[in-house]
Chains A and B, each alone.
Chain A
Amino acid sequence: MQHRFFWIAVGVLALAYPILTMPFPVYQRLGALVLLAAIGASAWNVVGGYAGQVSVGHAIFFGIGAYSAVLGYHYLGLPPILGVPLGMIVCIAIAAVIGVPTLKLSGHYFSMATIAVAELVRVLVPTFDSLGGAQGLSGPTLPRTVLDLSFTSAMPYYYLFLTVLVAILFVTWRIENSRMGFYLRAIKDSERAARSLGVEAGRYKLYAYMLSAAMTAMAGGLYLTMIGFVDPESGFGILISVKMLIMAALGGAGVLFGPLVGALILVPLEEISNSLLGGKGAGITYVVYGAIIIIIARFLPNGLLALLKPTQVKPADAPNGSPVGAGEKHAA
């Protein structure tokens, strides 16, 4: 009973938030930014959380999503949002090309390879003038039609992002409860064991990676419709990959609502601390931001949502158990 009441309250609050914050455009926009970050982190969660393949190179897909949206506008005058499906298709193809050899790597080697591929793209993009070079490309700053999605208020973005987030979470939830979800968890716990049970680990990891890539492209495309500008650093920078990861990790990776919870904490933390402290110019914003991340990692290494699962087996207190994957056993 209490659970149902809680979810209804969350739903109502989520729908009413932009109306409640109407007098405070900054907080209205903050809501949209949280949802956007949650979309990116939830997309990452499919491969990074559920399948346990810690990609630190998802900025590639984010950047391609953002660039596809703006290139359609730049060359064909299309509303940026129409470029999003194209970006998703391109990302699925690219994920397949990168994924086949790279997913064979395990653990940190996979992470490092994804960083390297993303950095490779980041340094290559500025050399192409057709992609706007280093200067980047702008979307329509002054809206031509409503399809350009260029609004002063953040409310339309908020509801757009909310819809997309719900869709992504729904897909993720369906996967979580499907055979594929079961396989992914098995792969995460022990790829060797999963293989010996006949799970085609390579294939399912690749599926997860491609799906995750397509969703991340969506996040990139939506980012562009809202911000209206992308350059190599804001599209492909390493910080974009890292932020998706830390949001998911902070809330709980491999947990449906983990990335959303992470975004709900980190985005307001970053924005509000920047608003309150950033103007002093001493970098205090990031001292606070860093300290809070440290504290959460120190006391809740499995993410905040681990708090809600008191029944979960606590990882052995041995100083050095098997660190990777420990404490992440799911009741499959």
Chain B
Amino acid sequence: MFRNIGKLAVTGLVLATVAAPSASAQDKVKIGAIYPLSGNAASAGNSSKAAIELAVEIVNGNFPDLKDLPLATTEGLPNLKGAKIEVIFADNQGTPAAGQNQTLRLITEEKVHALLGAYQSGITVTASAMAERHGIPFLTPESVASDLTERGFKWFFRSTPVAADFARSYSELLREQKAAGRKIETIALVNENTEYGNSVSKVIKDVFIKDGIPITTQISYSANTTDVQPQVLQLKEKNPDVVLFISYTSDAILYAKTMKDLDWKPAIMIADNAGFNDPSFVRTSGALVEGLINRSAFAAGKPGSISAVINEMFKKKTGNDLDDPSARAMQGLLILADAINRAGSTEPAKIQEAMKATDLKAEQLVTGYKGVKFDEKGQNVLASSLITQMTGGKYVPVWPKESATAEIVLPYKGW
């Protein structure tokens, strides 16, 4: 018996060794993408995966409709003799350890040239630390925890806006409405209690206090709860003028349903992205939240615009409209592709240099950022958000004025 186990172990080791791929030819540019493809955040992770795949198709193919988008009309990367991009996906399984293990695999076995990920901030922490130690550029297109860029990393970049950016957007919007005569005296903040809700709510509270429109009620709750009736009843009793939700999909669906069941709605309802932007939410509960204000870095603009064309392509591929986190992931891949092309090489140090020199203009982007330009900490200083509103089962951009396709309609209508 012992001998059999021994044999098995040896066979396993040999198999594992054979399975490890040898360094492949340099005709492809390999990018590793670490996303939650199983577990609670899988819905978002798989949507991001589809968006990144679409971005790869765009870079590798020829799309005259998208001529303003860098690399869209050339097949592959011209400065690397038309080399095609290949993305290797890995499942972070929602745990920091798995995120780190998979990062190591992508770097040492798949020999990726750059990395993208990892959705949850906590996993981005560990995955990017592994990339830093190996000297491979790591771009996070969606993790917002503020300290990510405060670690003194040299290989870490972030293209997404951080909480302070969108907190300012909400505040500006509300102050505009207040100036226009709308009653905005009481503001309630409802946030889930994991890292996302916790960190974003803190920033929003600080910004709102500074801007003279303090939060009057805060309700934090544990994510993936079985019931939100007490929260909604608390809101109903306090009856604030504005409610701001920070929630993941499962809870967002429950809030939308329960507010209808208990028949209460505020005059202005704002959702901070995440759950309320998930295609599953829009499909299942969009009809219950007409007039909901949301933030998004993406909104399908006028027909023929880059965002509209891409939204159509995404819809054809998945059946859903392109949602915000997925659009940001897609933008992340396009930023990396642009940098690698300018580097003209797959050497990590050259890609790192090119990333630092990135200078994309607003019209060259899928998302509604003002541009892409990284500061010395790796943060995109031109990142920004649009404010959107749920109109007829779809989010349309309503603020700021220059990107709006519709007027903001208040009060909140609900169901």
Interface residues in chain A, defined as those with a beta carbon under 8 Å from any beta carbon in chain B: 2-3, 6, 9, 13, 20, 24-27, 29, 33, 123, 126-127, 133-136, 138, 141-142, 152, 223, 227-234, 264, 268, 271-272, 274-275, 278-283, 285-286, 307-308
A88 CB to closest chain B CB, in angstroms?
21
Any chain A CB within 8 A of the CB of B367?
Answer: no
Give the CA-CA distance A233 to B104 in the complex, in Å.
22
Residues of B within 8 A of A283 (CB): 37-38, 42
A-B contact sample (8 more), CB < 8 A, given A6-B6, A127-B193, A135-B195: A26-B20, A27-B16, A134-B199, A138-B151, A229-B125, A281-B38, A282-B37, A283-B37
For A33, A227, A228, A279, the residue with the greatest tally of chain B CB atoms inside 10 Å of its CB is A279
Residues of A within 8 A of B197 (CB): 134
Residues of B within 8 A of A134 (CB): 193-195, 197-199
Residues of B within 8 A of A29 (CB): 101, 104
Which residue of chain B is the closest to A282 with respect to CB atoms? B37
Residues of B within 8 A of A123 (CB): 222
Stretch of B126-134, B248-256, B329-337, B371-379 at the chain-chain interface: B126-134
B320 CB to closest chain A CB, in angstroms?
15
Give the CA-CA distance A230 to B122 in the complex, in Å.
8
Residues of A within 8 A of B20 (CB): 24, 26-27
B158 CB to closest chain A CB, in angstroms?
16
A279:B89 contact, CB within 8 angstroms: yes
A142:B152 contact, CB within 8 angstroms: yes
Any chain A CB within 8 A of the CB of B12?
Answer: yes
Question: Provided the pairs A279-B88, A279-B91 are in contact, do residues A136 and B122 lie with their beta carbons within 8 angstroms?
Answer: yes
- 16 sample A-B contacts, Cβ–Cβ < 8 Å, listed by A number: A3-B2, A6-B2, A27-B17, A126-B194, A133-B195, A135-B198, A135-B199, A136-B122, A141-B153, A227-B100, A229-B129, A278-B102, A280-B37, A281-B35, A281-B42, A281-B89
A234:B122 contact, CB within 8 angstroms: yes
A261 CB to closest chain B CB, in angstroms?
8
B37:A281 contact, CB within 8 angstroms: yes
A147 CB to closest chain B CB, in angstroms?
17
Q: Which of B9, B108, B122 contacts A25 (CB 8 A)?
A: B108
Any chain A CB within 8 A of the CB of B95?
Answer: yes
B91:A274 contact, CB within 8 angstroms: yes
A227:B104 contact, CB within 8 angstroms: no
Question: Provided the pairs A24-B20, A29-B101, A278-B90 are in contact, do residues A229 and B38 lie with their beta carbons within 8 angstroms?
Answer: no
Any chain A CB within 8 A of the CB of B97?
Answer: yes
A274:B132 contact, CB within 8 angstroms: no
B residues 89-145 in Cβ contact with A at 8 Å: 89-91, 93, 95-98, 100-102, 104-105, 108-109, 121-122, 125-126, 129, 132-134, 145
Any chain A CB within 8 A of the CB of B161?
Answer: no
For B93, B97, B100, the residue with the greatest tally of chain A CB atoms inside 10 Å of its CB is B97
Give the CA-CA distance A264 to B9 in the complex, in Å.
9
Any chain A CB within 8 A of the CB of B73?
Answer: no
Give the CA-CA distance A282 to B6 in the complex, in Å.
33
Which residue of chain A is the closest to B98 with respect to CB atoms? A274
A229:B195 contact, CB within 8 angstroms: no
Residues of A within 8 A of B9 (CB): 13, 264
Interface string of B150-167 (1 = CB under 8 A from A): 011100000000000000
B93:A228 contact, CB within 8 angstroms: no
B133:A278 contact, CB within 8 angstroms: no
B23 CB to closest chain A CB, in angstroms?
11
Any chain A CB within 8 A of the CB of B239?
Answer: no
Any chain A CB within 8 A of the CB of B1?
Answer: yes
A33:B222 contact, CB within 8 angstroms: no
B residues 10-63 in Cβ contact with A at 8 Å: 12-13, 16-17, 20, 35, 37-38, 42, 45-46, 49
For B91, B101, B121, the residue with the greatest tally of chain A CB atoms inside 10 Å of its CB is B91
Residues of A within 8 A of B3 (CB): 6
Give the CA-CA distance A142 to B131 in the complex, in Å.
12
Among all A-B residue pairs, the 9 with the closest Cβ atoms: A278-B91, A281-B37, A279-B89, A134-B198, A152-B133, A141-B129, A25-B108, A135-B195, A134-B195
For B88, B104, B134, the residue with the greatest tally of chain A CB atoms inside 10 Å of its CB is B104
Residues of B within 8 A of A285 (CB): 38, 91, 93
A26:B105 contact, CB within 8 angstroms: yes
Residues of B within 8 A of A133 (CB): 195, 198
Residues of A within 8 A of B109 (CB): 24, 26
A234:B108 contact, CB within 8 angstroms: no
A141:B151 contact, CB within 8 angstroms: yes
A135:B122 contact, CB within 8 angstroms: yes
Question: Provided the pairs A24-B17, A133-B198, A283-B42 are in contact, do residues A142 and B102 lie with their beta carbons within 8 angstroms?
Answer: no
B368 CB to closest chain A CB, in angstroms?
27
A24:B108 contact, CB within 8 angstroms: yes
Give the CA-CA distance A227 to B88 in the complex, in Å.
23
Residues of A within 8 A of B45 (CB): 281
Residues of A within 8 A of B153 (CB): 141
A308:B1 contact, CB within 8 angstroms: yes
B178 CB to closest chain A CB, in angstroms?
31
Give the CA-CA distance A234 to B134 in the complex, in Å.
24
Residues of B within 8 A of A3 (CB): 2
Q: Which of A9, A231, A271 contacts B101 (CB 8 A)?
A: A271
